[in-house]
Amino acid sequence: MAKVISADTFKNFGDNCAICGKIPSNIKYDKIQNVFSKFGEIQCLLLEDENGKEVRQALVFYTTRDGLLNATKRENAWQLQSISGIVEKCSQKMKDL
């Protein structure tokens, strides 16, 4: 079942959102949560469903701006199964979709 991001998602969880890409298709939710929680307290984590074939994306909402900034620093790059992920701040354009 696909995750649906409602128009209220950003109203409910705020602006401290990181978009995380290139997540391996077989990585479980709790592993993603463990990786990204080292940057700060997570308020909400939305992860595309596992399909066994393609890389996925996640939205990570941090409780503080510092958590978001820590997650998006280059020196805090993360790896899962030898695959480097992409993390960037969620743009206003994405929030407006």
What domain range includes position 14? 9-96
Q: Return the closest-CA partner of residue 17 out of 71, 60, 74.
A: 60
CATH number, domain containing residue 38:
3.30.70.330
Distance CA 91, CA 97 (A): 10
From residue 19, alpha-carbon distances to 27, 33, 38, 83 in Å are 16, 13, 16, 16
Condensed to tens digits (0 to 9), the pLDDT of residues 35-91 reads 889 899 999 998 888 777 788 888 899 999 999 998 888 656 666 555 556 666 665
- How many domains in the chain? 1
Total-model pTM: 0.75
| Domain assignment present for 1 | no
Structure tokens at 56: 């996925």
**Is 71 within 8 Å of 39 (Cβ atoms)?**
yes
